[in-house]
Structure 1
Amino acid sequence: MNITEPSFDEAEIALLRECLDSKWVTQGPLTERFERLIAEKQDVKHALACTSCTAALHLATMALKLGPGDEVIVPAFTWVTSAHSAEYVGAKPVFVDVDLSTYNIDPEKLKAAITPRTKAIVAVHLFGLAAPMDEIKAIAEPRGIAIIEDAACAIGTTYKGKPVGAIGDIGCFSFHPRKAVTTGEGGAVTTNRDDLAARVRSQRNHGATGAPDPSIEPPGPWTMATFGNLGFNLRLSDIQAAVGVAQMGKLDRLLAERRRLGRRYSDLLSDVNSIGLPSGGDVDGHTYQSYVIRVLDGGRKHRNDIMRALAQENIQTRPGTHAVHRLEYYSKKYGLTAGQFPNAASAEDTTITLPIFPGMTEDDQRKVVQIVRAMG
């Protein structure tokens, strides 16, 4: 049993054929169509597709003009590129511990980490559960600190009824195969700010800044773009966008299925006192990109024993994600110790991501739960 599986059918094939028949396979009309669907779903003015959520986070830090001397607050329990995005522009990631009931950033610890050099906060909506955005905004906005929403796991996630990706200054989404919808690899930047959208649009396209001044030379077949920025090639192709358009057409159904499966896991495991369930935060808006449990007794060894028992039955699992401060790059560069962010370390050592995917049957879930219960 796989930990997750994408949902593909003839809809993707038809749109891929349309793309290939058109002979337009780089960023073009299907990418624009995909962007409109993302913007509509997340209720945001601008959605700009790119090659990955890593690229989206990089574009976000560049658009906000972060750089050397700036500090960017990042949860200590997240995927590594939440922190890498600060490093890419020469800023310093400052780690903050998480709340074990949500795996998202702890607002009280966030407040204590603010310094005069803090220029941005990366608010990660981990596993499809929204971060505590009211508390984060209350800390950030009076101080003029930008909020980057790392919504890699959170297409369709809501916070108090509002879609994520439009709550902070800029949002970043992933369409990796483990996400609810996928383009193979792919991402998107979302924002309501015209200035940030313009910078992202330029910097994902080599730094292009539009046509030259027509008063200098009338436009014609000789006209080439101007380049006022240092940019990159981070464009999504129309081949990938064709898959994305088809996937977005299924999104509501896929999210409904994930929510049903997530709630059923919680019901089936509710009486297992040795297992912590995803029950904190705005669970009504949770989209269960991952269903993550925590082993409360026996630490990492017991967690590993449970994962080994599941693997012996050909059931894939994985830890929730990394305690980033314990990774070699960050621990060496900033002199961090494993015990500095104890909740993040505990989460890495004791979490298990259980299989959740479209088409998962009750028997599939029952098999997973039986082993967890027996080992728990």
Structure 2
Amino acid sequence: THARVWLNYRDLGLYVLKEGFDQPFLKRHFGDATGNFYDGGFVQDIDVDLEKDSGNGPDDHRDLRALQAACLEPDPEKRWPAIEERLDVDAFVSFMALELMTAHWDGYTPNKNNYRIYFAPPKGKARFLPHGMDQMFGDPGFPILEYFEPMVASAVMHNPEWRKRYRERVAELLPLFEPKRLHDKLDTVLARLQPIITAMGEEPANAHADRVRELKERIAAREPNLREQLQNGDPTPLEFDGDKPIELADWFPAQETDDTKVEEVEIDGQKRYSIQVGDSGQCVASWRRKVLLAKGRYRLETRMRTEAVEPREDEQGTGVGLRISGGKRDNKLTGDSDWQTVSHEFEVLEDVRDVILVAELRATRGRVWIEPVARLFRIEVP
């Protein structure tokens, strides 16, 4: 519902008042409130130690770690049953469908944000709950068929059977997005709120009316866009012409250490990507590129130059190198090196997989420059 809030005689305006995720809520919806209940935090995936809000289970995050391990299992034949053992897949398919259909861009599926996880007894399978849904229906063209990056969403969307189930669920839910139906619901709420908003003054009332009108326009545009996306079908993987490579530009930066300097620079009139260790002496940062690939074996190549790189020992790799997200690498550059080609081979075992290519620096000192156009070869076709 809604509430107009005053604090110390100061009018703070109109707010949404919602039920909290507490023991009565869990008991009512799941029949048992003793399972571990986690807060997803701010833009965090399940690979971090999420805060446990409640639950009688152990505090060692073993349930989260088991779900994480299942999602990251490299062999699809082992991955799917491991996920089914730890996740309510059908409920998660509905969760994804509603997040994406409502264009909730700041939710778990697209942005690993604004979510809770409940490991519901007796089976202990994970159930995802949406939270902080204040960004819905912002973009009428928001995609619903992409392979999104968050760990659980990515794993589920890469299973052909579950992806088919997801498309079917979107089609089943589509009638709920009929514009007149949603507009009527908005009008009902607006009629209830109108006396309160009017009492707040002419300016707030006019502003609220404008926001409602804009929301109705976006809702009206969303339903036909959803139909169009369903009709257009799934994204298609890159097509290779024999053994010829595909050139990949337009990489995006990512960093885990705050004071690392990740930027585009110009050297001798040519654009280069750069990563430089900051004053903290700890650097984990990269330039990344998403590609949709069919089953097969691939080789990624680009040229890199290093200056005074002192490597940091990490499980994924050390110093400067190439890998794919979620994977490890053996290639590395350290110290000072002139421009040279670095390569990394990897295999896609699924029929189609969204792969994030990573050119990274893991170091305590130094800098790397990276050519902004890499080359990807398909070296083996099943």
TM-score higher than 0.5: no
Higher normalized strand content (fraction of residues): 2
Whose radius of gyration is greater, 1 or 2?
A: 2
Higher normalized helix content (fraction of residues): 1
Higher normalized contact order (CA 8 Å, seq sep 6+, divided by chain length): 1
